[in-house]
Amino acid sequence: MVVLTAINAKYIHSNLAVYDLKAYTEQKMDRDIQIAEYTINQSLEDILGSLYERKPDIIAFSCYIWNIQYICRLAKELKKVLPEVQIWAGGPEVSFHPEMFLKANPCFDLLMLGEGEKTFYRLLRGDAYDKIPGLAYWKNQEVCVQPPTELVDLNEIPFVYKDMEQFEHRIVYYESSRGCPFRCSYCLSSIDKQVRFRDLALVRQELQFFLDQRVPQVKFIDRTFNCNPQHAMAIWQYILEHDNGVTNFHFEISADLLTEDEMTLLKQMRKGLVQFEIGLQTTNSHTVDAIERRMNIDKIKENMEKVRRFGNIHQHLDLIAGLPFEDIQSFRQSFDEAYHMGAEQLQLGFLKVLKGSKMEERAAEYGLRYMEEPPYEVLATNWLSYGDIRVLKRVEEMLEVYHNSGQFTYTLEYLMNFQNSAFDFFLQLGEYYRQMGYEGLQWKRLDRYTILRNFVHDTYSEENGWEESTLDRLLLHDLYLRENLKKRPEWAKDYNDLKKDMARFFRNSGNGGKRMHLEPWQEKTQTGYMLYDYEKKHAFDSCAATRFITEEEFQRDAKGTSNQNCRDSE
């Protein structure tokens, strides 16, 4: 019996690779193949015991940055309790420098290099090791490495999803293409020189399965989904025409490749039907050339703005710190340009010098100093000191807490009106956390609002143009959009004198008993109340639906007459 073992970063993740290996092999031969999925958060002893009790003949691990150290520790212990078991490994963490890996980890019997479907099948079929491409193995206490395996036809891989109960509350991954047309030096996808596509007839059939099963989210793992416009258009058209009102589809795209026809189609999508992850990485043209990336930054900005105006597609934009020729001032420029592209999420990542990548080959040239162990993250470069990296880490944390959380949308939009640089704002906020001793502490959501308010008060004068009343109103707006708080912030105005009138308003307006909140609202153009309805949340951002109610309308309902004139504020 063979156990294909995946150790995922989180419970919500699943490992498509092990399911592909099982499905590909079982269609060709009768063999007892089981899948065992765990997470790196489980104790090593528990996983060791679980695998032991299965009594396998072969255990094959799927190896990535996030689990390779865990797997190496586990494999050593497995050899002690199951000395006769063959231990195999595959995946990007063992596909490069295999001789070095095996000599450092002799408990592994062999490695499957690159794509594993054909290699795994030939191993179980019983082919001689020296006849199997894509294999590294021990022979007479020496490591033998076979030539690369040929690429598999994606249409030969069966659809792996049948019983969706085992994927409940987990992300479902799907692959309609492999390979990438780009050659970015930091990415392993650049090594695969050929882009292959799954037949659209199969794709449509499999998408319909997800739709029929009302799967919450399907995440396409295609490296550049829209590199072939015809392929992308066909899939998006099918998703649009067969939308079930529930399923969300995630795509990694190149925004500058979006065509007018695709834009016309995307504009028609239900809000939340699709979402995009866009790899910008940098706006420094010298850096773009050095990493061998091809992109039109102006076109990315233009297309992202068009999509943003559609108001129906969540956009996630990626930046990488630590790339060649990018110092802290250059990165500041990249950050500010990226921030103002208006993505709902802006991920500030740090260069990982991956095994087998071109970046690894040029590490000495670029002065890349990086962690010896996974995730091989950059510590310094010819352009960034470790101190600079620490500064950027502080910006990253504040960006995650205050922008990417989606919990401060209106407040940040307001505050950015008085900033010359979004980067400087998050940097100053991070420095404020450091000076106040807030770093590394676990904060409740309400505390984050108070800290932001105190930061603005302590850092900026109202002469800069911001107003305390507006800041407080927007902070409360962001708070109540996402949660009907049981406790108001200490700095929020008390309205106990209005509670009886509010109770009568809810009762007389027909809203009594519903999960709602009413907040006094005062700004230059309108004075009244904002009504938050938590039973009508928006699918796009999970915020409560809102209605603005004038003072006159509130008073009328509070006195017992009907309210017919509430008008939507969003």
Residues 132, 122 contacting (CB under 8 angstroms)? yes
Mean pLDDT value of segment 455-465: 88
Mean pLDDT value of segment 209-231: 96
What is the model's pLDDT at position 507?
A: 86
Residue 370 has pLDDT above 90, yes or no: yes
Integer Cα distance of 91 and 98 in angstroms: 11
What's the maximum distance between 2 C-alpha atoms anywhere in the chain? 92
Mean pLDDT value of segment 135-156: 96
Residue 261 has pLDDT above 50, yes or no: yes
How confident is residue 560, by pLDDT bands cut at 50, 70 and 90? Answer: low
How confident is residue 368, by pLDDT bands cut at 50, 70 and 90? Answer: very high
What is the model's pLDDT at position 191?
A: 63
Residue 485 has pLDDT above 90, yes or no: no
Residue 334 has pLDDT above 70, yes or no: yes
Buried b (16+ CB within 10 A) or exposed e, 30-43: eeebebbbbbeeee
Q: Which domains does the chain have, with CATH numbers?
A: 2-145 (3.40.50.280), 165-384 (3.20.20.70), 406-492 (no CATH), 494-568 (no CATH)
What is the model's pLDDT at position 408?
A: 97
Residues 397, 430 contacting (CB under 8 angstroms)? yes
Mean pLDDT value of segment 160-177: 94
Mean pLDDT value of segment 89-109: 97
- What are 538-553's pLDDT values in tens digits? 877 889 999 999 999 9
Residues 6+ apart with CB under 8 A from 310: 266, 267, 269
pTM (global) more than 0.75: yes
Closest CA to 332 of 274, 432, 419: 419
- What are 57-96's pLDDT values in tens digits? 999 999 999 999 999 999 999 999 999 999 999 999 999 9
Integer Cα distance of 90 and 118 in angstroms: 12
How confident is residue 285, by pLDDT bands cut at 50, 70 and 90? Answer: very high
Residue 568 has pLDDT above 60, yes or no: no
